Each structure stands twice: as C-alpha cells, then as structure tokens.
Amino acid sequence: MSTYSEEHIKYLKKQKKEKRIICFFRLLIIICFLIAWELLSRFELINTFLSSSPTEVIETTYQLLQDKTLFTHIGVTLYEVLISFSVATLIGFVVAIILWSNKIIAKVIDPYLTVLNSLPKVALGPLIIIWVGASTNSIIFMALLISTFVTIITIYQGFAETNQSYITLLKSFGANKRQIFMKAIFPSNIPTLISALKINISMSLIGVIMGELLVSKSGLGYLIMYGSQVFNINLVITGVVILGIISYIMYFAIDRLEVYIKKKRGN
Amino acid sequence: MDKILTITNLEKSFHTRDGEIKALESVSFDVREKEFISIVGPSGCGKSTILSILADLEEKSNGEINFSKDYTIGYMLQNDSLFEWRTVLENCLLGLEITNQLTKENKEYVINLLKTYGLEEFIDSYPSRLSGGMRQRVALIRTLATKPDILLLDEAMSALDYQSRLAISDDIYKIIKKEGKTAIMVTHDIAEAISMSDRIIVLSKRPATVKKVYEINMQNKSTPIHNRKCKEFASYYDEIWRDLDVHI
C-alpha cells in the first residue's frame, strides 16, 4: 500500500484538482457578490441607506467591537443556542429511547408529536411570553419548542428502522432489551444521531433568533430588531451576516465531529 | 449414535389481523449426535420457523421439543448481519459479550478459530473489507464462539453467488465436522442439502408435515463438493425433487 501505481497517482491528482476547482468557485461567488454589492453602492446605483454595503458592514462591525457590545450579543445568542441545543438533544435522545422500548407509548404519542412538530411555533410567541415571562427563559423555551420535536422524531425513526437482522442475531444469543440497545440500536444509529444534531443546531438557532425578535435585551436577534426599529440598515445586515457566519461555524463543527467518528469506526 | 433432540408433533400458527395462518401442522423428527440434518420443503412451508422455535426466537403453538441434555444452541442467519462498526474479532466476540462469557480463554479460542480458518490477517479489519464468502465464515465463527452443541443454519449460504456458495458450503461443512458439532440446516437448494447432509427431512406444503426422511448414503462420501460427483447424487436429487412437487 506504500507505493502507488502511476494510474493511481493520476487518479489522486484528478481528485485534488476537482477539490481545488470547487473551492475556487465557492470563493469566486462570494467575492463577486461582495464586489458587485460594493460597486453598486459606491456608484449609488442602489440606495445604501436601504441596502448598506460591504465596507459599511465592516465599519459597523468595527464600531460594535470598539464599544465592546459585539461579543456580548454573540455571547448571549450562543449561550441561548447551546442551552437549547443541549437540552433538546438530551430530551430527544431520552424520549426516543422510551418510545423505542415501548411500542404502545410510541403509538399513543405519534399523532401528538406530528401535530406539535408541524405547528408554527411563532404563533405561540405571545403565549410563551405570558406564561414564562419576558426573559431569556422564554427565548430558550421558544427554541426548545422548535428543536425538540424534530429531534425526537429523527432519532426515534432511526431507532425504529434499525436493521432487523441485527436484532434477531442478538436475540439468538439471548440478549435483553438493554443489550440490544447498547450493542446494536445505539451504535448503528450514530449517523442518525449526527444528522439529528445537525438539524437540532439549526433549529435551535432559528428558535433563539425568533425568541430574541419577540422579546430580548441583548443578542443578535435583538441587534437586528433594534436596527430595524431605528432604521439602521447597516446594523440589521451586520447582524444577519454575523448570524450566517455563526451558523456556518456550528454546522462545520458537527460536520468535523462526523468525519472524526467515521474515521474512528473504520469507514 | 445417541438421539440428542426429539421433536414431536410440533405445531405453529401465526396470527395476523386478517386471520390465522397455520405454518406447521405436525412436525416430528429426531436429531442424533454430530449429525448433519437438512430440512427442505416448498418455499413458504415454514421450514425456517422450526429453527426459530428451536432458537427460542418464536414460541411453538403445540407439541414437544425434548433435548436429552442441557444443550446450547447457535443460530446462523440467512444474511451474515455483521456489525459494520465492529472489527472482525469484535463481531465474533458479540455472543460472548451478550452471555457474559468474555473471558481471556474464550477470546483466545475465538482468535484461534479465526486463525485456523484463514481469517488471521483480517482479525482487526472491518467487515466492509471482506468478500461475501469470508463474511459468512466470520458469521459462522461468531456462532461457534459461544461453543454451542447444536448449530442451526437458516439458508446460511443463500445470499451468495453460486461459486462462493459451493466453496463456502465446503468450508462450513469441514469446520462443523472438525469442531464436532451437530447441525440442522434449512435450505431451498436440494443439491446443497444432498451434498452436505447425513439425513434430509422433506416437508410438505404449508401447513407442513414431514413428508419423507432420507438417509444419505454414498459409497465415496467425503466433502460436499466431492459428494456432488457421487453416482447416487442424481437419484437422490430426482426423488427429492419429485417429493417437493413443484408446480408453477
């Protein structure tokens, strides 16, 4: 395996080239977009008061850094997202195990889960504020409502669709339910769990921003809301851009986790 | 040889919302020590159900199953069901883990089996690197790991292509004989049954009863691939084919 044939080296080179082309075009799109945006606003072809411009976004970011509020806002949002993400993951996992281990409960709960999952949670916003109070708690509650059900459903479906022959095999050795879970259901569903984490992190972010738009004193959602109220479009767009970067970083972190786990499990 | 297992008037019905399906009407046969028995029958006649019941995966509706001693049973499924996230060795240790028998000696025993049967260089590989035939061999060693007295083979080779199947049935046969195990195999392949078995039990259509039992006697009986060349082979094939009464 240490020496490759010429054909294989060619193949590897081709792969590498393809990767570079993809990277290049990805960057090209964003750079072209930024240049076009900048030029259009420089030559006043678009109204910078309404649509801002890259340099103004950078300036606004710099200002936010100067008065040290940027990291507070990012910190608050991240804190809320991480709490919601962890709690939703935990609840999703535990509930999925309960549903998997008891078919009757699973069947009883099924229609409720479907309804709760597809209900537009924003509609509950005002109610949540009344029940939980205008605080960070209601933001996290909103995020949990949005992320928990889909996490439960994704993980449970993975559990329920586990290759039946794995289970038959373990039963032939006399395995009990706990052993079946530990030896087959859990390890064979690691990919499902990772995709549940991916869905969950985006849902938590969506939920937190939605909550912050409704009620908050800080956070990126607040920044965007405040910006729009004082008609400071620079602030709104800066908030959105930072949000985009954060969501990409969080997704990327889980993606790396996936690659790491795949490597460790030998495929 | 001593009888180690007697099955008398075994009955099994399956219940669905649409009604009741009788799979086994009344099945009786016995199994002798170190014997290789095959069960053949028309498709859907419930032959696999017998194994499921013996392996305690399914409850019988009626009848008697008597073991002469406290025998342990190993079950080999139709597909290899290797866990892709476990190495070959870890897969083979699965049964020992479940039954809490993962001692140093037992692990040593499994490693030796893997070495003896040509899987030494794959001990720490993942199943995705193995060919279909090798996977089936790993599955057999996984079954042998818990040192069962009686092996149940449920269409164990049927997922493989024809050539691999011939080769692996030869392999599996040799391993089973060398380890001195009793085996009950369910198959739809008459030739496979004749080439491997000491006795063949032919079942009727569903609901199944035992239609006929053949003692397979061949003058130059040796390994399955050789047995296919014996002069008695063709006549056994003919007779069993007629028993199965296949109409399409």
What's the N-to-C CA distance of chain B in angstroms? 40
B246 pLDDT more than 80: no
Of B57, B97, B99, the CB nearest to A171: B57
A266 touches chain B (CB under 8 A): yes
pLDDT band at A140; cut points 50, 70, 90: very high
- Check pLDDT > 70 for residue A266: no
State whether A267 and B77 contact (CB < 8 Å): no
- Band (A159; pLDDT cuts 50, 70, 90): very high
Angle at A137 between CA A205 and CA A112, to 5 degrees: 70
Residues of chain B above pLDDT 70, percent: 99
**A168/B81 touch (CB, cutoff 8 Å), yes or no:** yes
pLDDT tens profile A173-227: 999 999 999 999 999 999 999 999 999 999 999 999 999 998 888 899 999 999 9
Give the pLDDT confidence score for residue B169 in this predicted structure. Answer: 85
Provide the pLDDT for residue A2.
Answer: 57
Minimal CA separation from B109 to chain A, in Å: 18
Rounded mean pLDDT, B202-230: 87
Residue ranges covered by each domain of chain A: 6-46, 57-264
CA distances from B239 to B195, B229, B243 (A): 15, 17, 6
pLDDT of B248 = 64
Is A267 a residue whose pLDDT tops 70? no
Torsion over CA: B125, B130, B135, B138 (sign):
negative
φ, ψ for residue B5, nearest 5 deg? -150, 130
Reported as a single tens digit per residue, the pLDDT across A106-134 is 999 999 999 999 988 888 888 888 898 88
CB pairs under 8 A between A and B: 54
CB contact under 8 A, A172 and B77: yes
pLDDT at B19 over 80: yes
- pLDDT score of A46 more than 90: no
Q: Please state the pTM of the whole predicted model.
A: 0.85
Interchain contact B1–A (C-beta under 8 A): no
AA letter at B236: Y
∠ Cα A195 A197 A201 (to 5°): 120
Cross-chain CB nearest to A172 (options B55, B85, B87): B55
d(CA B57, CA B139): 18
Which residue has tokens 């219940």? Answer: B15
What's the whole-number mean pLDDT along residues B106-116?
92
Structure tokens at A7: 């054909």
Average pLDDT for B227-235: 87
Q: Is the pLDDT of residue A86 over 60?
A: yes
Backbone angles phi, psi at B101, to 5 degrees: -120, 20
ipTM of the complex: 0.87
CA distance A8 to chain B (A): 19
Asked if the bond preceding A111 is cis, omega within 30° of 0, the reply is: no
Q: How far is B148 from chain A (nearest CA, A)?
A: 10
> Is B126 in Cβ contact with A267 (below 8 Å)?
yes
3.30.1360.200, 3.40.190.10, 3.40.50.720, 1.10.3720.10: CATH of A57-264: 1.10.3720.10
Q: Which chain A residues have a beta carbon less than 8 Å from that of B98? A: 170, 173-175, 179, 183
**Contact check, Cβ <8 Å, A172/B83:** no
Q: Model confidence at A3, in pLDDT bands (50, 70, 90)? A: confident
B217 pLDDT more than 90: no
* CATH class given for the domain over B3-244: alpha beta
**What's the DSSP call for residue B103?**
-
